[in-house]
A and B are shown apart, each in its own frame.
Chain A
C-alpha cells in the first residue's frame, strides 16, 4: 500500500458546493462556510465537551441550575472512582475495562490470524464459487446483531458459554472474521502476485513466499483492519449485555450503562468512565489514521 493520505483523499470527487454560497464567491463564501461549519461542529461536539466537563466537575456543579460552563471547581475524584472502589480496592468498573481489553484484544487477534490467510487464499487461488462464498461470508454482516442475540443466548446456555469471556471472544471473532476477510482481500489484491511467483521460482514454498514477501507488504492493511475490528469489539453492547451478567465478566459498555438508573445516578462517574472508555479508541484511530483513510478509499486508489 503505497498510498499517502493526500493521494487517498484527492480521489474523493469534489462535491458540488451549494449554489448560493458559490454566488457569493471569495470572502463571502468562506465566511458562510466557516459559520455553517462552526454551527455544525458545536452541535456535534457539544455532547463530547459536556461529557468531558461533567467528568471533572464536582457533583454539586453537575446538578447546578443554570449549568456552569466555566466557573466550576475542577476535580479528579470521578476518575479516581473509575479505578478505585469504595473499599479502596479495585473498582468494578476497572475490572470491566480490563475485561473489555482482554475480550477486544483476543477476538481481534483471532480474527486477524484467521482472516488474513483466508483473504490471501481468496485473492490468490481459484477457489470454487469464490464470489458466492465471499458473498455468503459478507451476508453474515447484513443482519443486525440484535436479531441473533436470542438464539445465540440459548445456544450459549446449552454449551455453558453464558457469562464467560470466552463466549464474548468467540462471538466477536465470528463477527470480525468476515470483515477482516473483506478488508484484507482488497489489500492482498493490491500486492502483485508476481512477488510470490518469483519467490517460488527462487526456491521457496508457497507459504514461505507468502510469509516472507507478501505479509510484510500487508502490515499497514492489517493494522487498519485490526483497528476496525478492535473498535467493533470494544464498543459492542448488545451481545455483552445479553450474554454476561457477573461483574467479573462484564465488559465496559454494559458496566457503564449499569451505572445509570437505580435510585441515584452518579453522572460524574458515568462521564469519567465514558471518557476513559473513549480514549483508547481515539488514540488508536489517531495512530493509524493514515491507513484508515487508505483502507476506506481502497479501490478508488490504483496501484
Chain B
C-alpha cells in the first residue's frame, strides 16, 4: 500500500489537445480519493498516466516512495478497473482472475487460494466457470473488481467503473466498493462524472475542469464552500443559485431586493455573485416578513421534497428546495426568503471564491 503524489502533471496529446494541465494531487496512503468532473476534463488521462498507460508530457508521479515516471505499467504494482470491464473474452471467470497471478509466476496452490479468496469477497463462487459473455453487466463488474483485488496491489485505479450499470445496481456496487476499500485499506483513486457517486464514496474529492483542478476537499467542504463558480454550478442537485449582488449598508443585496448576510472581508469595488443553495431559500406566502415578491414558474414534486423554480424581479429560475407539505401552484405570486447563513461569494470576472 502506498500514497500517490502527482506533481505538475501535464499531458498534451500529439494532436495538440491539452488533456491535463499542470495538475497536483497528493493522495494519502489508504485514502479513497475521487476525481470528479464533466466528460472530457482529463480524468481518464490522469488515471492512465498514473497507471503508466499514457506517458505524461511533463510532471512527476510517485507511488509510495518510488518515482514511477519511467516504469512500465507492469512494474508499478497497481490495478485498474476500466469503464468497459476488459475481461478477457476467451477466458472463464476463474482464469480471468488467475491471469495476473500467473503473470507474476506464483505457485499453483497460492493462485488457487487467492482466486478463491477474491471470489468469496466479491461473491463470485457460482460464476467461476462462466465466460464474460455469460455474465450480466453487474456480474462482469464484480469479476473486474475481483481481478483488481486478487493481486493485492499497492493502489486501485477505477475509471468510471459503475457507469454501465443500471441505477439500482450502481447504488449497491457503490456501497460494496466503499466497504471493500475500508476493509482492505488500500489506496484507491476513483474517477467519476457523477457527483452523487463522488459525494457518497470519497474521503476527498478533486473537482476537475478542462484539465485543471478546481478544488480539492472533503465532500462536506466541497458542498459547503465551492471554490469557484464552476464547482458551485457542478456540485449539488439542483445546483446552487448564483445570484448577482452588490454590497450596500453592510448587506448583500440582489437586484430583486433579496438581502443576504455578507461574509467578512468582502472587496467593495468588484461585481459579485452570491452562491445560495436551494435549501437556504424558502418560498412563502406573498408579503411574509423578510420576503421579496416572486412568482412560481414550476414545481418538481420528488416525493420527499419539492423543487420550486421561481422568478423574482430580474432574476430568473431561482431553485428552492421545500418540504413536500408546502404547496404552491405554478404561476402564483409568492414570497422568496433567505433562511440560511452567510452565502459564498464569487468574483464575476475571476469566477473564484472571494469570501
Contact = CB atoms under 8 A, between A and B. Distances in A.
Given A126-B13, A126-B14, A192-B84, A200 B89 contact: no
A89 interface: no
B199 to A, nearest CB: 28
Nearest to A191: B89
Given A195-B86, A216-B90, A201 B14 contact: no
Interface residues of B, number: 24
Interface string B49-83: 00111000000000000000000111010111010
A192 B86 contact: yes
A140 interface: no
Interface string A210-222: 0001001100000
A194 B86 contact: yes
A198 interface: yes
Interface in A177-236: 192, 194-195, 197-205, 213, 216-217
B167 to A, nearest CB: 24
Contacts of A203: 74, 100, 103-104
Contact of A201 (B74, B88, B90, B104): B74
A209 B27 CA distance: 30
A197 B82 contact: yes
Interface of B: 13-14, 48, 51-53, 72-74, 76, 78-80, 82, 84, 86, 88-90, 99-100, 103-104, 151
Nearest to B104: A203
A15 interface: no
Nearest to B87: A198
A128 interface: yes
10 contacts: A192-B86, A198-B86, A199-B99, A201-B51, A201-B52, A201-B53, A201-B78, A202-B151, A203-B100, A203-B104
B231 to A, nearest CB: 31
Nearest to A202: B100
B57 to A, nearest CB: 12
Given A198-B80, A217-B89, 7 more contacts: A197-B82, A199-B99, A201-B53, A201-B78, A202-B99, A216-B90, A217-B90
Given A126-B13, A203-B100, A197 B74 contact: no
Contacts, number: 55
Contacts of A195: 86, 88
B73 A194 contact: no
Given A126-B13, A200-B74, A216-B90, A194 B100 contact: no
A192 B84 CA distance: 9
B72 A200 contact: yes
B253 to A, nearest CB: 54
B73 A201 contact: yes
Nearest to A203: B103
B19 to A, nearest CB: 13
Nearest to B133: A2
State the 3 A-B residue pairs at the shortest beta-carbon distance, nearest first.
A203-B103, A194-B86, A202-B100
Contacts of B72: 200, 205
A213 B88 contact: yes
Contacts of A128: 14
Q: Which of B76, B84, B88 has the most CB of A within 10 A?
A: B88
Contacts of B86: 192, 194-195, 197-198
A105 to B, nearest CB: 28
